Structure 1
Amino acid sequence: MGKNKEIVTLERVQSLNDAVGQSKDLSDLFAMVANAKLGKTCFSSSLGQEDQVLTDYIFRNQMSIDVFTLDTGRLFQETYDVLSTTQKKYNKPIQSFFPNDKEVEELVSNQGINGFYESVQNRKDCCAARKINPLRRALQPYSVWITGLRSEQSANRSDFTVFAYDSQFDIIKFNPLLHWTYQEVLDYIESFNIPQNNLHQQGYISIGCAPCTRAITQGEDPRAGRWWWESSHKECGLHKTNN
């Protein structure tokens, strides 16, 4: 993006955030996006609880928003199960994006199948090959990227805004659940009988790749089960900036 265009985008994002305030109302927030005519919009789902809320809202309201997920090749079987159940419930497509096979082969050749346990850099390289690069490819045709981020999920996300310009992917990011509480997410899921990952009932709150996710105990940070062998303030790189 050219510098002038980036400045205009940042100004537009600021204007949207000024207008939205602390709103949690999905109908108002999605109407704002539609009225702003920001361009072609997509939603990336990890099939977690927050993302299932948004999938339900998008599909139930027949929105012209493409929904996709990232299949890293290391997901839990339960994640595939909820993907299948969700597609059957709504009779809507959820496109899966996969890593480049040559890139994964090179990664495993260099660091081993579970080399991500050995260093933070190894883990980031694995996330890049299996998640970030496929996401970059998936986002290519779009101007707006919807996510299920909530500010309560971690300290790193507490200062995020509902709208942001993500310079890493050169796209406007829209976080409609940012100010929702976890209880509000659960209440919505129950109200609309939304499919969810069975692992949530076993203490798994934030669910990613199987080797990098564990259950958490009561009182732990919701993302404490991700890359638990590392220090706090952990992200895979998908949501590291909020300009």
Structure 2
Amino acid sequence: MSASTQVADAALAAKIERLNALIDTIATRHQKVKLASSLAAEDMLLTHAILSRGARIGIFSLNTGRLHAETVGMIDRVRERYGYEIEQFHPQPEAVQAYVTEHGLNAFYESVELRKRCCEIRKVEPLNRALADVEAWVTGQRREQSVTRAELHEQEQDTARNIGKYNPLADWSEADVWAYLKMYDVPVNPLHARGYPSIGCEPCTRAIRPGEDSRAGRWWWESRDSKECGLHIAPIQIRPGAAKATV
């Protein structure tokens, strides 16, 4: 084993140790906390870390009604591997129908406003219901994923919902994530092997090209600085040692 490989292995081991410690801290700090899982690589990593430790952190997913079959299939794979049933939250049928009637099924291609309205109906409103009874939530976001996440912090305050928010993988690289998944033989979405590092709704996600950032395939018809759906908004950093009354 080369010296560089040993250094890399040691660095990953340190990140895993920190991740496990943070998960334990989150689970004991809050009465009720949930992981919002997209069923993609980062969230499968966190799913494994949570369930393998028996941490008291719930896991849910937003079933928008327009996900790839491969993504929905990950619900079964988690059940088979861990014996855990991921809770699913769906959009309100009336809101979906009203949008489709007024604008059309695929109106999100027409403008950023219509795309964000679709995301609000299919993702943000269900997320708000999912988080209505928690003190904090956990995400698989990483700084490396896109320019919109470059300032991501490991611990934040979700000011929109007045709850704590944790991004345990904030400083993890893509290589770190895949090394972990391989190490623990974690089930992964088969779309990753087809060039989809970031996976959302089927009509809004494409495989990326060489050299593109990992979220380039999301809403590819829009400019890079608008590529968020509204799930992750207005956070403020909580620094270690700061008051934790609302976290």
- TM-score, structure 1 normalization: 0.88
Deviation at 1:34, TM superposition (A): 4.1
Letter in 2 for 1:142: V
Structure 1 counterpart of 2:33: 41
Secondary structure in 1 aligned to 2:235? Answer: coil
Letter in 1 for 2:173: T
Structure 1 counterpart of 2:94: 102
1:27 aligned to 2:46? no
Deviation at 1:160, TM superposition (A): 1.3
* Alpha-carbon distance in structure 2 between the residues aligned to 1:30 and 1:78: 28
* Alpha-carbon distance in structure 1 between the residues aligned to 2:159 and 2:147: 21
1:237 aligned to 2:237? no
Gaps of 5+ in 2: 1-13, 237-247
* Alpha-carbon distance in structure 2 between the residues aligned to 1:226 and 1:208: 7
Letter in 1 for 2:212: E
Deviation per residue, 1:124-156 (Å, 9 max, x gap): 000000000000000001001000011101111
Deviation at 1:169, TM superposition (A): 2.0
CA RMSD in angstroms comes to 1.4
1:194 aligned to 2:186? yes
Letter in 2 for 1:110: E
Deviation at 1:113, TM superposition (A): 0.4
Structure 2 counterpart of 1:137: 129
Deviation at 1:28, TM superposition (A): 2.1
Deviation per residue, 1:195-243 (Å, 9 max, x gap): 1111111111100000000000121011000000011121001113221
* Alpha-carbon distance in structure 1 between the residues aligned to 2:228 and 2:122: 14
- Higher RCO by CA contacts (8 Å cutoff, separation 6 or greater): 1
Letter in 1 for 2:71: T
Deviation per residue, 1:158-200 (Å, 9 max, x gap): 1111111111222110111111111010011111111111111
Structure 1 counterpart of 2:239: none
Deviation at 1:39, TM superposition (A): 3.2
Identity %: 43
Match among 76, 89, 104 for residue 84 of structure 1: 76
Secondary structure in 1 aligned to 2:224? Answer: coil
